[in-house]
Amino acid sequence: MRMVDIIHKKREGGTLTQEELDWLAAGAGDGSIPDYQLSALLMAIFFQGMSREETVGLTLSMARSGDMADLSPIPGVKVDKHSTGGVGDKTSLICGPMAAACGVKIAKMSGRGLGHTGGTVDKLESIPGLSMNIPRERFFQIVRETGIAIVGQSGSLCPADKKLYALRDVTAAVDSMPLIAASIMSKKLASGADAILLDVKTGSGALLKSPEEAQTLARLMVDTGNGAGRRTAALITDMDAPLGRCIGNALEVREAVEVLSGRGEERLTALCEELAAGMVRLAGLAENQQQALDMARESVHSGAALAALKGMVCAQGGDAACLEDTSKLAVSPVCVEAAIPESGYISGLNAELCGRAAMELGAGRERKEDSIDYGAGIVLLKTRGEPVRQGEPFARLYAQTEAQCRRAQEQLLAALDITKERPPERPLILARIGLD
Ligand code: URA
């Protein structure tokens, strides 16, 4: 097979065969196909698109380019959950333990944050002692005993995606629907879960800004997962403003504990209940949405969900005392309070700009190799929809230096839109796919 023929075929709008897809994913993964030819193919796919069957085929080939996890030593239905990325999105730390407390088995592999969006690995690593690098047998044992374990993605997971994603990033080919779907779903398939719940974000902080694009991507990923033999469903949810009140790793762990203690912010709590209920339904543990939601809520009221998080943290070597007393979690030494610049209602709080402000504070990374400050971040004292008065406290910013706080404060204030009239409420869940 010759790469130049595959590029030519796609450039002319042809459909690649499974054999061709397998060959090119293997070559991307093992480095035998040069970057310039892969880049040319990615651009041809960007313009010509891919059929649904081709997208499923590419996803499977990419998944098989590395290790495919076999979770069969864990009894029960294993359900994974994936968010397409957001600001203040700590939902995995909340809906995971809720679903685990309801009997779902969660053996999850997560990623680090990049750019303005955060990652579950960084949030969990802000808990002193906690390891995300757990040997396979121990990982399985933790899931069997506590219902949930979350580890980092191993280096041998989807090498084809690592190569193709890095090339897309530098060749302006990230926002292609089939390439996004194949990239995300190949990692989910290789992670081995029986069922997958996708949280596809839309709004200013999301990869895809419009609800229509999010819906198209969600439908494609659901079809891809189901086409590959995994039960897959999706929620399309709002990411126009940050989720919850905290942005930054240790701050978000603290907020997760608040929600699991029944004292969480309303929208964040509602989204986590929905996600946990979706996972419960995918596992076949509830007859309908209402029953699943009741189970998710009861897991918080009874304390079982918080106990599941504590069990996981302990088993992964973390200091669970930090969850009993969250003031023990890291907090950066300098704190600056930003004030509301004018009276009215907060009609917008641009999530991407908030995420960039958190990066400025040291809570996120621009490049993969950058280090982060676990105690840095933002606590929003006011958020979208709320009435505000000029001069009252808007947010607390935490960082290592005053200069970082001042720069971030400017960005955070630029994220803020204030109007005289109360803005209409934005729906939290825009659509459900595969959960009716
Ligand atoms: N996240 C991924 O893992 N891949 C993409 O292509 C986009 C977001």
- Pick from 207, 217, 368 the residue to mutate for probing ligand 1's pocket: most ligand atoms within 8 Å of its CB: 207
Asked whether 165 lines ligand 1 (CB < 6 A), one says yes
Q: Which atom of ligand 1 is nearest to the CA of 165?
A: 6
Q: So what's the pLDDT on residue 117?
A: 84
Q: Which atom of ligand 1 is nearest to the CA of 180?
A: 6
Ligand 1 midpoint to CA 414 (Å): 27
Question: Token pair of 192, please?
Answer: 């081995």
Q: Single out the residue of 47, 21, 62, 15 nearest to residue 163, CA to CA.
A: 62
Q: So what's the pLDDT on residue 426?
A: 92
Ligand 1 midpoint to CA 100 (Å): 26
| Alpha carbon nearest to ligand 1 atom 6, residue | 180
Ligand 1 midpoint to CA 183 (Å): 5
Ligand 1 midpoint to CA 287 (Å): 33
Q: How far apart are the C-alpha atoms of 131 and 126, rounded to whole Å? A: 10
| Alpha carbon nearest to ligand 1 atom 2, residue | 184
Ligand 1 midpoint to CA 175 (Å): 9
Q: Which atom of ligand 1 is nearest to the CA of 111?
A: 3
Q: Which atom of ligand 1 is nearest to the CA of 179?
A: 6
Q: How far apart are the C-alpha atoms of 148 and 141, rounded to whole Å? A: 10
| Alpha carbon nearest to ligand 1 atom 5, residue | 180
Asked whether 374 lines ligand 1 (CB < 6 A), one says no
Question: Token pair of 231, please?
Answer: 């039960």
Ligand 1 midpoint to CA 404 (Å): 29
- Pick from 180, 196, 217, 220 the residue to mutate for probing ligand 1's pocket: most ligand atoms within 8 Å of its CB: 180
Asked whether 180 lines ligand 1 (CB < 6 A), one says yes
The model carries a pTM of: 0.95
Q: So what's the pLDDT on residue 220?
A: 95
Ligand 1 midpoint to CA 416 (Å): 28
Cα radius of gyration (the chain): 21
Asked whether 127 lines ligand 1 (CB < 6 A), one says no
Ligand 1 midpoint to CA 184 (Å): 5
- Pick from 45, 174, 183, 368 the residue to mutate for probing ligand 1's pocket: most ligand atoms within 8 Å of its CB: 183
Q: What is the pLDDT of residues 370-385, one digit of tens each?
A: 889 999 999 999 999 9
Known catalytic residues?
A: 82, 161, 168, 183, 187
Question: In this structure, is the dihedral angle defined by the CA atoms of residues 234, 238, 243 and 249, taken in order, positive or negative?
Answer: positive
Asked whether 59 lines ligand 1 (CB < 6 A), one says no
Asked whether 183 lines ligand 1 (CB < 6 A), one says yes
| Alpha carbon nearest to ligand 1 atom 3, residue | 184
Residue type, 396: R
Q: How far apart are the C-alpha atoms of 398 and 376, rounded to whole Å? A: 5
Residue 290 to residues 149, 264, 276, 293, Cα–Cα distance (Å)? 27, 21, 12, 5
| DSSP state letters, 319-358 | -THHHHSGGGS---SEEEEEE--SSEEEEEE-HHHHHHHH
Which parts of the chain have pLDDT scores under 70?
none
Q: Which helix (H) or strand (E) segment is 256 a member of? A: helix 249-260
Asked whether 62 lines ligand 1 (CB < 6 A), one says no
Q: What is the pLDDT of residues 201-235, one digit of tens each?
A: 999 999 889 999 999 999 999 999 999 999 999 99
Q: Single out the residue of 215, 144, 209, 207 nearest to residue 180, CA to CA.
A: 207
Q: So what's the pLDDT on residue 154?
A: 81
